[in-house]
Every structure is written in C-alpha cells, then in structure tokens.
C-alpha cells in the first residue's frame, strides 16, 4: 500500500487531524504528508474546513486493497489474476498498459487506478473523477480477427456493463451509440477501445472503462454534457467498488471471448433494447457529412441506423450522434 493510500485511510470524516498526527499515524515525515495532502486536494478529494488547523474528509472514501481484490477475482475464476495491477494514481490506465508491454504481452493485462490525472473520453475529452470515488480500468486483449471485424466491440462491452448495473438496481441505465452509458439523459460512464496493432488476422485492443460511482465533484468532469453517478441511480446501499470491479472484469472477459468467436450479432437485440435514441430524431455528424433521421438501433455489425425522410436507412460507421432539435422547416 502506498504512502498516499495509507494517508487517506488515516483521514476521518468525524474529526480533524493535524499534520503531525497524520505523520505519526502513517509513519512518514511531515513534509511528505503536506505534499500528499496538497496533491489529493488538487486531484479533487473533498476536505472539510476545520476551525483549527487540521484535515478532515468531507465524505468517506474506501481505498481498495490489491490483496483483497485479487482474492475476490480468484474466487470468481478470473483467469488473469496475476496480470492485474492496482495503482493509486496514474495519467491514464490505457497509457500505462501501452507503456508496460508489447502487443502480445498485453493480452489479459489489467490496470486499475484510484485516480487518473489524464483519463481520456471519446474525441479527446478528459475523464477525471475524484480519487477513490469511481471505477477506472483498462484491459488488453488480442483478437483473432482484423480491425475491420471489431466495429461493434464497444457496443458489446457497453451492453455487458449496462446489464450488470441494471441487475444492481440502476434500472434506468441505457446505451448511447457507440460507447456511452446514460441514465435519465445524463452520462454515467463510457467505454474507449483503442487498437494497438493490427493485421488482417490479429488485432490487439486496449479497452478502457470509466464509471462514476459516488463522486461529489461530477461537475468538474469535462464530458460536454450532464453527468450522473451510480449512487444517484440506486436506491439503497452501493456495492463496494472492489466487488463491482470484480463483476465488471468477469463480465468483460466473457464478453470479449464471445465477441472474438461470434462478433456483435449475439448482442444486437440486447443493445437495441437499451438504445436511448430509438425512435427519436437523431443527428449524426462526421468529418464529412451530417445526417438526420429516426434512430433504429444498431445493425448486426454495430453500425447505427438512421431512417431518413425518404424511407432509406443510412448506416453510421463513425462520428457522433445527438438528438436533433431543429425546428420543422429548417434546412
């Protein structure tokens, strides 16, 4: 366990502690305590303002323990336990995986972090939640197929995540093509798939997953849209983050194995049942064109279908889709 994690565990929500008290509790020098506290505040950890000099958490956080995580993964039969790494902080879990291994060594590797200083969303947007409040991980996977056959991969992963969250009680979770999880019009999480190498017969992918769990600083996320967290969607107690990550990783391996063998088609109907834009007027924007039509879900390859005014169906391969609010009669 890192100094920073031990320090967070020494902090309390009911009483403040001085720098000297924290240094004694953690077993490090006061300058190191001051440095870690400064970094934690900059990263977004919420502190109460105490009347006397001291530090007190605004709300409880529960840093994960690597041994507990790996034990739970082993119990669930996760096949890559020895390749799982839990970090306290990192620029990006996907970047970390890329730096650590060559393409063949990436298969089954998992990086989980309590905080990302440069987490990425789609189209270059930042994804930076508060420390110890969210789920942030990446996994490497080598597919026995070319990149052209991976069009629906983010959709299959999104469906697995949405299904798990709905089972936990987040009944309003839906999916936005191609890689976002929404609940009541607000973004809950997302999937980012990056292809690290590609041949006609094999491709290595890094799958990044981010979920807002119980984050008091959601407004700081630069997603370009309203955001929510799991705590706002589930009535009753939340699952522990360790428990949730174990479920997510177990589901992810099953999804990736099935996708490698069968592609997106087995997930098509399930994904379309959760499509938040189904039957709505949607605008699809790419670098070259803008298409407006009624959303008709994903086809068997994972392309999004829009039914245009002339009755034709246009498959969207890449780009953004949003609800279209243009008044009638405008070009």
pLDDT tens digit string along 292-326?
999 999 999 999 999 999 999 999 998 889 987 64
pLDDT of residue 119: 61
Helix (H, G, I), strand (E, B) or coil at 157: helix
Burial class (CB in 10 A: 0-12, 13-18, 19+), 105: middle
Q: Taking the mean position of all CA atoms in its chain, how far away is CA 254?
A: 18
Element (H, E) at 141: strand 134-143
pLDDT(283) > 80:
yes
Q: Where are the domains of the chain?
A: 3-57, 66-273, 281-323
For residue 331, name the pLDDT band (cuts at 50, 70, 90): very low
Determine the CATH number of domain 3-57: 1.10.10.10
* Nearest-angstrom CA–CA distance, 219 and 223: 9
Reported pTM = 0.89
Considering the segment(s) 66-273 as one domain, its CATH architecture is: 2-Layer Sandwich (3.30)
* Nearest-angstrom CA–CA distance, 44 and 138: 22
pLDDT(114) > 90:
yes
* Nearest-angstrom CA–CA distance, 273 and 158: 13
Of 126 and 324, more confident: 324
pLDDT digits (tens, 9 = 90+) for 215-224: 877 765 555 6
pLDDT digits (tens, 9 = 90+) for 98-111: 988 766 689 999 99
Sign, CA dihedral 296-299-302-305, equals: negative
Backbone angles phi, psi at 250, to 5 degrees: -65, -45
Class of domain 281-323: mainly beta
How many helices (H) and strands (E) in the chain? 8, 14
């Amino acid at each position: 366990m890192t100094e920073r994690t031990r320090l967070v565990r020494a902090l309390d929500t009911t009483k403040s502690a001085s720098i000297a008290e924290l240094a004694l509790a953690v077993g490090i020098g006061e300058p190191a305590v001051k440095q870690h506290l400064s970094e934690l505040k900059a990263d977004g950890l919420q502190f109460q303002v105490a009347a006397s000099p001291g530090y007190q958490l605004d709300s409880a956080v529960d840093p994960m323990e690597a041994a507990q995580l790996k034990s739970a993964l082993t119990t669930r039969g996760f096949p890559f336990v020895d390749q799982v790494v839990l970090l306290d902080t990192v620029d990006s879990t996907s970047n970390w995986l890329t730096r650590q291994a060559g393409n063949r060594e990436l298969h089954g590797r998992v990086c989980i972090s309590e905080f990302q200083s440069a987490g990425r969303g789609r189209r270059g947007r930042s994804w930076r939640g508060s420390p110890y409040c969210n789920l942030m991980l990446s996994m490497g996977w080598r597919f026995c197929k070319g990149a052209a056959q991976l069009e629906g991969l983010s959709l299959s992963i999104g469906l697995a995540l949405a299904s798990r969250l709905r089972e936990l009680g987040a009944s309003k979770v839906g999916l936005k093509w191609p890689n976002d999880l929404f609940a009541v019009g607000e973004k809950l999480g997302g999937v980012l798939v990056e292809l690290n190498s590609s041949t006609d017969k094999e491709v290595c992918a890094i799958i990044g997953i981010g979920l807002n769990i119980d984050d008091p600083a959601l407004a700081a996320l630069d997603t370009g849209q309203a955001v929510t967290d799991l705590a706002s969607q589930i009535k009753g107690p939340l699952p522990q983050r360790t428990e949730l990550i174990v479920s997510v990783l177990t589901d992810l391996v099953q999804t990736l194995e099935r996708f490698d063998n069968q592609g997106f088609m087995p997930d098509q109907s399930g994904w379309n049942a959760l499509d938040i834009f189904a039957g709505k007027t949607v605008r699809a924007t790419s670098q070259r064109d803008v298409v407006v039509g009624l959303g008709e879900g994903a086809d068997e390859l994972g392309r999004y279908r829009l039914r245009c005014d002339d009755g034709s169906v246009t498959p969207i391969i890449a780009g953004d889709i949003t609800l279209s609010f243009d008044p009638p009669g405008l070009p």
